[in-house]
A and B are shown apart, each in its own frame.
Chain A
Amino acid sequence: MAKAVLLDLRRCIGCRACQVACKRWNDREATATQLNTDPKLEWTNPRELSPQTYTYMRFTKLGTGDSLKWRFAKVQCNHCIDPGCVNACPTTALIKSPDGPVTYRKELCIGCGYCINSCPFDVPTFDEENKVIEKCTFCSERLREGMEPACVKACPTDALRLMSLEEARARAAQAEVQGLHTYGLHEAGGTSWIYISDVPLTELGFPKHTAKTPAGHQTDLMAKFVGTGVFVGAALVAGVKLYAQRREAVARTEGGE
């Protein structure tokens, strides 16, 4: 059965236990970090995903003065239901498994970087040393053994909860009815990690997306591409024709001389 994680940002206290648990379980090295230079994000640390960082907490300051509020959003691979990266991968190194995780087989990866450019959420990162990509794996090996992902296990407030995809989507839909904001219910055709929040996630730096799946996105583009082709073809034919007429006219004048 497909698993999902519901991230209820209203419950998050920004303790970063998930960040640490992820590093420990996945054996990711600690790297020297710096505070964020963007004053809105200054407590976000590390600042971004990297081959050593599969997840991080985004601390966003909203408003100023008395109306200032903090929002904490965990960032990781959203494990799309129909993933752009899997669709892009030329070697099937990236796969979507039926129980939810989007995982990758490093032995097949050729480091072409197409998944990096094709991910709607900017998730995969390039490991320069080994020339392969790295990203959150949904702790697929833990899931297989009936365990929760390391980050979910570590979350002290149940802001992260593992459940069936069906239940997560139902809860998110319900939250929308209550006037809350969601992310991953519709975006990019739906994801297996779904956010519920009291502020729009796009205000926390998440990219805005329509509900198009990769196939939908590409079919739309191809239709427009063919449509544009009609005009380009007509312009070419008209150009060549004009030129041929002109050449004839020139030949006639020269012949008359």
Chain B
Amino acid sequence: MEQLTWGVLLAAYLFVGGLAGGAFIIGALADLFGRGKWKVLSKSGVYVSLVSIILGLVFLVLDLGRFEVDPLSPLNAYINFPTSIMSVGTWIVTAFIVVSLVTAILWFFKGNSSLRKLFEVVGFVLGGSTAAYTGILLSFARGRPFWTTPYLPWTFIISGALTGLAMALFLIPIIAVFMPRFFEDFKELVDKREEFAGMLSDGQRYIVILIVIELALVALELGTGHGAASLFSMGSLSFPFFAYLILGLIAPLGIAYYSEKVESVRNSLMIPASLTSFVLILIGGFLLRYVILMAGQIIH
């Protein structure tokens, strides 16, 4: 029997959960290894992770939809100490929210930098675990053979890092334009057009690395996943699947290639082209979660 227990809201949760973990990882790496060059990206990553993971919880609670039945009952997920991977995940996500919040506060109020770096290391592990968890949750589900592959969690981790990086970069100019008073350094960076374009062009290259790995993982997934051929033959799946491949992976690769070709830093199209690429990557990230979630429940 085909039961679509998990729908769009859960796909949205998996998407922002992965994005939150990935954005924190990017933010932490940018601060820990950036030699002071990528402070704005680091802040942006940490802020994005905090907002996304909270948004993820909202999606999760909305998906459970228990407001009329018993609104506080989702808290039951905290009572059982970890035999279920879902309760392990609940605790990981909870710890991640706390660490992400503290790191964001330390960045925003210019707190102690070695304390911040400590939280970044802890958050790196928790963020990675959060992104991995969204995939492991599915791959452990025994009744859904399409999900039972070791590549799925890695696909979600890499996609988490990719979408996290895209979102963190995308929000820098947005924040600079709309909230310059609270985020002065964001505005400073964006005003130095060439420096900002240089950062985007660096970002594009990391994006290429992540996309190539994600493509390889998706190929492995297609080669080994139970009934993966349905992704090509079944209209309800193949349409979003190809949209994901083309919009979310191939088009950003094309844009990155274009950015390499033109004298990127000085080219006036560099910034809008990059921002377009980031939006496409984000759309792709959601479509990936949606396709995998649906395929697992439809393919038997």
Q: Does chain A bind chain B?
A: yes
Contact assessment for A117 and B83 in the assembled complex, using a CB-CB cutoff below 8 Å = no
Contact assessment for A236 and B143 in the assembled complex, using a CB-CB cutoff below 8 Å = no
| Contact of A113 with B140 at beta-carbon distance under 8 Å, contacts A228-B151, A239-B209 already known | no
Contact assessment for B296 and A117 in the assembled complex, using a CB-CB cutoff below 8 Å = yes
| Contact of A108 with B76 at beta-carbon distance under 8 Å, contacts A120-B143, A228-B150, A228-B151 already known | yes
- A131–B5 alpha-carbon span in the complex (Å): 11
Chain A, Cβ-Cβ closest to B6: A113
- A224–B6 alpha-carbon span in the complex (Å): 26
Q: Which residues of B contact A110 (CB under 8 A)?
A: 64, 66, 73-74, 76-77
| Contact of A240 with B65 at beta-carbon distance under 8 Å, contacts A87-B83, A225-B136 already known | no
Q: Which residues of A contact B5 (CB under 8 A)?
A: 113, 116-117, 126
Task: Report, as a range, how many residues of chain A touch the other chain.
Answer: 35 or more
| Contact of A122 with B143 at beta-carbon distance under 8 Å, contacts A110-B76, A232-B213, A239-B212 already known | yes
Q: Which residues of A contact B205 (CB under 8 A)?
A: 243
| Contact of A125 with B3 at beta-carbon distance under 8 Å, contacts A117-B143, A119-B143, A232-B213 already known | yes
| Contact of A122 with B84 at beta-carbon distance under 8 Å, contacts A114-B141, A221-B139, A235-B213 already known | no
The segment from A24-32, A64-72, A89-97, A196-204 that touches chain B is A89-97
Query: What does the 1/0 interface line of A94-125 toward B look like (CB < 8 Å)?
Result: 00000000000000101111101111111001
Contact assessment for A232 and B84 in the assembled complex, using a CB-CB cutoff below 8 Å = no
A33 within 8 A of B: no
Contact assessment for B209 and A90 in the assembled complex, using a CB-CB cutoff below 8 Å = no
The segment from B85-93, B109-117, B232-240, B280-288 that touches chain A is B85-93
Chain B nearest CB, measured from A105 CB (Å): 10
Chain B, Cβ-Cβ closest to A129: B69
Chain A nearest CB, measured from B66 CB (Å): 5
- A116–B3 alpha-carbon span in the complex (Å): 8
Contact assessment for A227 and B150 in the assembled complex, using a CB-CB cutoff below 8 Å = yes
| Contact of A239 with B213 at beta-carbon distance under 8 Å, contacts A48-B1, A229-B154 already known | yes
Contact assessment for B143 and A84 in the assembled complex, using a CB-CB cutoff below 8 Å = yes
Chain A, Cβ-Cβ closest to B77: A90
| Contact of A118 with B151 at beta-carbon distance under 8 Å, contacts A92-B80, A126-B3 already known | no
Q: Which residues of B contact A122 (CB under 8 A)?
A: 1, 3, 143
A214 within 8 A of B: yes
- A113–B90 alpha-carbon span in the complex (Å): 15
Query: What does the 1/0 interface line of B80-108 toward A look like (CB < 8 Å)?
Result: 10011111001000000000000000000
A218 within 8 A of B: yes
| Contact of A120 with B74 at beta-carbon distance under 8 Å, contacts A112-B86, A131-B66, A228-B150 already known | no
- A121–B142 alpha-carbon span in the complex (Å): 9
Chain A nearest CB, measured from B49 CB (Å): 19
| Contact of A88 with B154 at beta-carbon distance under 8 Å, contacts A110-B73, A113-B5, A131-B66 already known | no
Q: Which residues of A contact B158 (CB under 8 A)?
A: 232
A130 within 8 A of B: yes
Which chain A residues numbered 209 to 244 have a C-beta less than 8 Å away from chain B? 214, 217-218, 221-222, 224-225, 227-229, 232, 235-236, 239-240, 243
Q: Which residues of A contact B209 (CB under 8 A)?
A: 235-236, 239-240, 243
Chain A, Cβ-Cβ closest to B135: A225
B206 within 8 A of A: yes
Q: Which residues of A contact B143 (CB under 8 A)?
A: 84, 116-122
Chain B nearest CB, measured from A131 CB (Å): 5
A194 within 8 A of B: no
Contact assessment for A131 and B139 in the assembled complex, using a CB-CB cutoff below 8 Å = no
Chain A, Cβ-Cβ closest to B202: A247
Q: Which residues of B contact A116 (CB under 8 A)?
A: 3, 5, 143
A49 within 8 A of B: yes
- A239–B211 alpha-carbon span in the complex (Å): 11
Q: Which residues of B contact A84 (CB under 8 A)?
A: 142-143
Chain B nearest CB, measured from A56 CB (Å): 11
Instruction: List 6 extra interface pairs beyond A89-B84, A89-B86, A112-B64, CB under 8 A.
Output: A87-B84, A90-B80, A116-B3, A122-B1, A131-B64, A232-B217
Which B residues fall within an 8 A CB radius of A?
1, 3, 5-6, 64-66, 69, 73-74, 76-77, 79-80, 83-87, 90, 136-144, 148, 150-151, 153-154, 157-158, 205-206, 208-209, 212-213, 216-217, 296-297, 300
